[in-house]
């Protein structure tokens, strides 16, 4: 016989808004304890609804609800855990607070004192066969009609409005960028570096568009469009790499003081960009295959995230070195290169600084949305400043392209 259980866990949290998540699948393992899901509740009233079925030969299985303090989830899960047995992991739970739920229960109330991550596990310490069940989970908070909150965990709160805001700003920037490109082309000043810039802005716009569609879909049904989200991130990553390449090429004087780079300089730039591309590719692959949602809450908590930060710092060092020697050999171009150097030094280091400080000082449940807003803001500001520096206006005395596309030496 199959035991079918449907229940609602009602949470009363001491804050103001919430989000939701839908999960469906099958859990089958020879272990007696297994991680199932995570969710960050942030609401005055939240619900964890479940629809679980399993064969009676596997009864009685239990829902274990851990929160994110050092005395709970980190103690039972991950590399730092020293509790290995099922009984030890269940012993951490506070039964009086209904953190241990026998799967015969229909409705249970429990409280949490603040916004925090909750981690859901399944256990049956008496089983000799392990665990086997089918499940549907609805983790919700707040009003069902609250489109911007109802289908989002707290770590994703505000990401959709952030994307919509930056998407609109990027569209305006793209129009100005295209207008400038037309003006440069009419004067035979549309250099390769400006084409890289235009491509970067265009890819960033498409990336934000796909991410926005994915989060809009998630806001409507709780499922989202994972493939579209991945493609949006890939396009944004490509835009970032292209813009970084542009900044380094300009720092070396390409299309401003010379038509081509020295062979050794070309090799160094090529190796660096290839390493950056390979690292980003590894991030996407590792995220699908190896990232453990029970341990890694967002990208920059992983080793691969820190590798990206290190590569960006290396790019900044290359930028400083190249700009220094370009100004040394072509001091007449200082009007362009001094503001270029000052701003894009900040552009290179601001992202890594925010990420490192965020991991140290920003609460876990707000890190992802803060980093999302900061990264998109830095990208938009970087593109905007470059457009200002290269505008073909009679008032722009720092305009870098003073000769036609076939005359740069």
Per-residue model confidence as pLDDT tens digits over 285-338:
877 776 777 776 667 777 777 888 888 899 999 999 999 999 999 998 888 999
Half-sphere exposure of 176 (CA within 13 A, CB side): 15
User: Does residue 200 carry a pLDDT above 70?
Assistant: yes
Residues 177 and 106 in one domain: no
Residues 260 and 373 in one domain: yes
What average pLDDT does this structure show over 211-231?
Answer: 85
Beta-bridge partner residues of 107:
8
The reported pLDDT for the residue numbered 298 is: 67
Beta-carbon contacts of 311 under 8 Å, excluding residues fewer than 6 positions away, are: 272, 275, 276, 279
> Pick from 81, 55, 72: which is nearest to 3 by CA?
55
Higher pLDDT, residue 244 or 110: 244
Q: Which structure tokens are listed for 397?
A: 């005395």
Residue with tokens 């004192």: 113
SS3 letters for 40-74? EECCCCEEEEEEEEEEHHHCCCEEEEEECCCCCHH
| Residues 109/97, Cβ–Cβ less than 8 Å | no
CA distance 305 to 299: 6
- Domain-ending residue, one of 141, 168, 192: 141
Task: Say if 199 falls within a structural domain.
Answer: yes
- Give the count of domains, the chain: 2
CA distance 71 to 68: 8
Q: What is the CATH number of the domain that holds 234?
A: 1.20.1070
CA distance 228 to 162: 17
Residues 131 and 233 in one domain: no
Residues 214 and 351 in one domain: yes
The length of the chain is 409
Q: Which structure tokens are listed for 96?
A: 């009086």
pLDDT by residue (tens digit) across 147-198? 777 777 777 778 899 999 999 999 999 999 999 999 888 888 888 899 999 9
| Residues 213/234, Cβ–Cβ less than 8 Å | no
Task: Say if 48 falls within a structural domain.
Answer: yes
Distances (CA, A) of 86 to 90, 131, 326: 6, 12, 64
Residues 206 and 346 in one domain: yes
CA distance 41 to 365: 9
Task: Say if 36 falls within a structural domain.
Answer: yes
Task: Say if 331 falls within a structural domain.
Answer: yes
Task: Say if 69 falls within a structural domain.
Answer: yes
pLDDT by residue (tens digit) across 48-97? 778 888 888 887 888 898 988 888 888 888 766 778 889 989 989 887 77
Distances (CA, A) of 358 to 13, 153, 350, 354, 363: 25, 19, 12, 6, 8
Residues 81 and 130 in one domain: yes
- Domain-ending residue, one of 141, 171, 187: 141
pTM of structure: 0.79
The dihedral built from the CA positions of residue 324, 326, 329 and 331, taken in this order, carries a sign that is: negative
Residues 179 and 101 in one domain: no
Task: Say if 185 falls within a structural domain.
Answer: yes
What average pLDDT does this structure show over 340-357?
Answer: 90
Residues 283 and 353 in one domain: yes
Confidence of residue 370 (pLDDT cuts 50, 70, 90): confident
User: Does residue 7 carry a pLDDT above 50?
Assistant: no
| Residues 340/319, Cβ–Cβ less than 8 Å | no
User: Does residue 384 carry a pLDDT above 80?
Assistant: yes
Q: What residue numbers bound the domain in which 329 lies?
A: 158-389
The reported pLDDT for the residue numbered 269 is: 92
Task: Say if 150 falls within a structural domain.
Answer: no
Residues 166 and 58 in one domain: no
Residues 92 and 201 in one domain: no
- Domain-ending residue, one of 141, 166, 181: 141
CA distance 345 to 319: 8
Give the ranges where 222-333 is alpha helix by DSSP (H): 226-251, 263-289, 303-329
Residues 283 and 377 in one domain: yes
The dihedral built from the CA positions of residue 137, 141, 147 and 149, taken in this order, carries a sign that is: negative
| Residues 283/291, Cβ–Cβ less than 8 Å | no
Task: Say if 292 falls within a structural domain.
Answer: yes
Residues 235 and 195 in one domain: yes
Cis-peptide into 140, omega within 30 deg: no
């Amino acid at each position: 016989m199959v035991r079918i259980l449907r229940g609602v866990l009602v949470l009363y949290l001491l804050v103001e808004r919430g989000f939701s998540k839908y999960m469906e699948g099958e859990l089958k393992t020879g272990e007696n304890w297994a991680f199932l899901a995570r969710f960050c509740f942030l609401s005055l009233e939240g619900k964890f609804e479940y629809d679980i079925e399993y064969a009676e030969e596997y009864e009685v299985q239990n829902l274990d609800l851990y929160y994110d303090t050092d005395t709970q989830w980190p103690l039972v899960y991950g590399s730092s855990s020293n509790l290995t047995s099922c009984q030890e992991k269940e012993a951490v739970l506070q039964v009086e607070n209904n953190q241990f739920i026998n799967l015969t229960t229909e409705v249970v109330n429990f409280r949490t004192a603040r916004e925090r991550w909750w981690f859901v596990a399944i256990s049956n310490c008496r089983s000799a066969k392990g665990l086997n069940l089918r499940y549907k989970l609805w983790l919700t908070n707040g009003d069902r009609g609250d489109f911007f909150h109802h289908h989002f965990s707290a770590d994703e709160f505000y990401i959709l409005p952030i994307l919509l805001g930056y998407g609109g700003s990027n569209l305006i920037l793209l129009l100005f960028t295209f207008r400038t490109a037309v003006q440069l082309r009419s004067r035979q000043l549309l250099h390769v570096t400006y084409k890289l810039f235009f491509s970067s802005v265009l890819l960033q716009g498409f990336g934000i568009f796909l991410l926005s569609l994915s989060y809009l879909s998630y806001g409507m049904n709780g499922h989202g469009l994972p493939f579209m989200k991945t493609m949006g991130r890939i396009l944004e990553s490509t835009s970032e790499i292209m813009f970084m390449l542009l900044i380094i090429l300009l720092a070396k004087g390409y299309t401003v003081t010379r038509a081509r780079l020295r062979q050794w300089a070309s090799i160094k730039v090529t190796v660096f960009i290839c390493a950056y591309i390979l690292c980003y590719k590894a991030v996407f692959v590792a995220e699908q295959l190896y990232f453990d949602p029970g341990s890694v809450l967002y990208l920059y908590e992983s080793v691969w995230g820190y590798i990206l930060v290190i590569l960006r710092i290396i790019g900044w060092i290359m930028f400083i070195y190249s700009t220094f020697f370009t100004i040394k050999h072509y001091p007449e171009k200082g009007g362009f290169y001094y503001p270029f150097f000052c701003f894009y030094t900040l552009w290179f280091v601001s992202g890594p600084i925010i990420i490192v400080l965020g991991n140290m000082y920003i609460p876990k449940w707000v890190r992802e949305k803060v980093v999302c807003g900061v990264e998109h803001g830095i990208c938009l500001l970087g593109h905007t400043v470059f457009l200002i520096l290269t505008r073909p206006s009679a008032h722009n005395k720092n305009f870098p392209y003073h000769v036609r596309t076939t005359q740069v030496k």
